A and B are shown apart, each in its own frame.
Chain A
Amino acid sequence: MAKDNSANSAENLMQAAEYVEKPESQLKEMWETLRQNKAAVVGLVIIALLALIAVTVWISELIGIQILPYDPNYSDMTKSFIWPNAEHWFGTDQLGRDVFSRIIDGTKISLFVGVTAVAISLSIGVLLGSIAGYRGGKTDAFIMRTMDVMLAIPSILLAIAFMAALGKGLDKAVIAIGLVSIPEYARIVRGSILSVKENDYVQAARVIGNGDSRIIFKHILPNIISLIVVRATLGISSAVLDTAALGFLGLGVQPPFAEWGDMLGRARGFIFTAPYTLIFPGIAITITVLAFNLFGDGLRDALDPKSRIK
């Protein structure tokens, strides 16, 4: 108890020292804090690299230049199961396709899936959460109980159920993954809206004549955007993981296109004879997920003004 008090007064003092003139903008200060977090920087660098790879591969495919050492989808049975060597860095798989090329090519799909799935769940989740939190009462109860039911079912099972209804394919997998994680966003948004809603400035906004939607979009959401951004960053990593899981089960991308989870799934029979066909896609998934998690954690700290002071 005593400690709280001293922390408080020290904090007041520091705030006093900070107010009057603040030379740095909030964004700049956030960036400073983020930069000091080494893990987050590593995460950011990896994400940037992955994005660069994905974009380059995509553009080269569009204009028809092959920059990968081999065509990732070209199979040559005579060259199956070559162990990693100077020619095939990560070896070749059961159909003689170059694993390195396939992994690089798969980056595109993984990132696309991650970002799109999060965009779907984010937009629907934020909307539902805002309505539930702002309206309260029966609307709130109805929306949130539906979300609770969704949360009660294991997400991968739910995604499979969605895919059973929608059919196979990458696009459907993205939608399924997006739908499955709606409740997480709805919950976070609802919770923060409930607390922000009680703030005096929201009441003040109502007194000067703001309508409901303007209050939500202008006065409430901008104040919880940081929470949503952090959650979305972490959400991308779980979407990548979910795609991999669906791919592993054979429900995601259809052959011959390269997707890490799908590669893992198809190679699982050769775990003892050609372990490299599993190891490298596995590492790719791990690195991507880890990068987003590290960056997301760093972002959360950077956006929280309290941890920024410390």
Chain B
Amino acid sequence: MNEVLMKVQDLSKYFTIDTDWRGKPVSVLKAVDEVSFAINKGEAFGLVGESGCGKTTLGKILVNLYTPTSGKIFFEGKELSALNKKQRRSYCKDIQMIFQDPYASLNPRMTIGDIIAEPIIINKLLPMSEVEERVIFLLNCVGLARHQRNRFPHEFSGGQRQRVGIARALAVEPKLIVCDEPVSALDVSIQAQVLNLLDDLKEEFKLTYLFIAHGLGVVKHISDRVGVMYLGKLVEIAPKKELYANPLNPYTQALLSAIPVINSEKKERIILKGDVPSPINPPAGCRFSSRCFKEFGPCKLNTPKLKEVSPDHWVACHLF
């Protein structure tokens, strides 16, 4: 279980927002800033955070949609930048992505069968004669029927489209799937269906998930370990039971207390002051210091590093 599948070391991605006349960057958005973590084989690693915290950017770096500004990615022990072209291709095949918006992630001009067949064909995984059979198999895996193969995406509801997106990701037999908010655009009753499907597929295909979401309930349900991000930084990583029972970083505490919980006594809420600051000019020192209710001396001066405070529980906070 504890075999590391993917390891990320000091990964950063900066976007240049504005340059001066010489093309020198004058304002830079630090979407992901020196993030390190590891995902074990067969686990679901949850990544939570509010909008603009860089979780989606992180996911897109892993599937090679963005090139990182600095930092290293190890996949199955091999460093990504050291790979040759062929190995890189196989890396890309091994890591797939499920997108957030099922209305935007399927090409409206292709039938769903063609959408699922495409990755098999371009990666030459199967002889053409067997592709069709595989497509039908994948459709069945995600709970769609054979006769829907030749329909177009607009003929489907959001939940069904998300199933097509899942089938497309499965088509190349990936090892890791980055699920970028796969249920947040869906209705509550459909969310449960898709979450259960993801759970089943994980068992069936021995998958590893990086599960990105802003809903803490959803992340808790599906993940084994959870990382919390705030303004491009990982602030806490812990096994889910530990994280939800004993959150250490004040931001995690506030995040957990902000969620409305049904059928429990109305709890005392930590209401954070202010808004998430802009990632273009984040506060100095700890990024959370401008909103933190436990802020003290060193917070505004130094950026805290991730420390292991108890087995497998990592926190970046000056309190620890």
Binding site for B on A (CB under 8 A): 18-22, 26, 199-201, 203-211, 214, 218-219, 222-223
Contacts and interface: CB of A to CB of B under 8 A. Distances in A.
Contacts of B154: 18-19, 22
A217 B71 CA distance: 34
A213 to B, nearest CB: 12
B97 A204 contact: yes
Interface stretch (B11-19, B44-52, B100-108, B135-143): B100-108
B118 interface: yes
Nearest to B106: A201
Contacts of A26: 152
A203 B65 contact: yes
B96 A207 contact: yes
B105 A204 contact: yes
Contacts of B156: 19
Nearest to A199: B104
Contacts, number: 71
Nearest to B97: A207
Given A22-B155, A208-B118, A214-B122, A201 B105 contact: yes
Interface of B is mostly: loop
**Interface band, chain B:** 20 to 34
Interface in B8-60: 60
Given A19-B157, A201-B107, 20 more contacts: A19-B154, A19-B155, A20-B155, A20-B157, A22-B154, A22-B155, A200-B99, A200-B101, A201-B106, A201-B108, A204-B106, A204-B165, A205-B107, A205-B118, A207-B63, A207-B65, A207-B97, A208-B169, A208-B171, A209-B93
B123 interface: yes
A209 B97 contact: no
Nearest to A225: B109
27 contacts: A18-B154, A19-B154, A19-B155, A22-B154, A199-B104, A200-B100, A200-B104, A201-B108, A203-B99, A203-B105, A204-B105, A204-B106, A204-B165, A205-B107, A206-B64, A207-B63, A207-B65, A207-B96, A208-B118, A208-B122, A208-B123, A208-B169, A209-B92, A209-B93, A209-B119, A218-B107, A223-B109
Q: Which of B104, B105, B107, B156 has the most CB of A within 10 A?
A: B107
B172 interface: yes
B125 to A, nearest CB: 10
B168 interface: yes
Nearest to B93: A209
Contact of A204 (B64, B89, B92, B168): B168
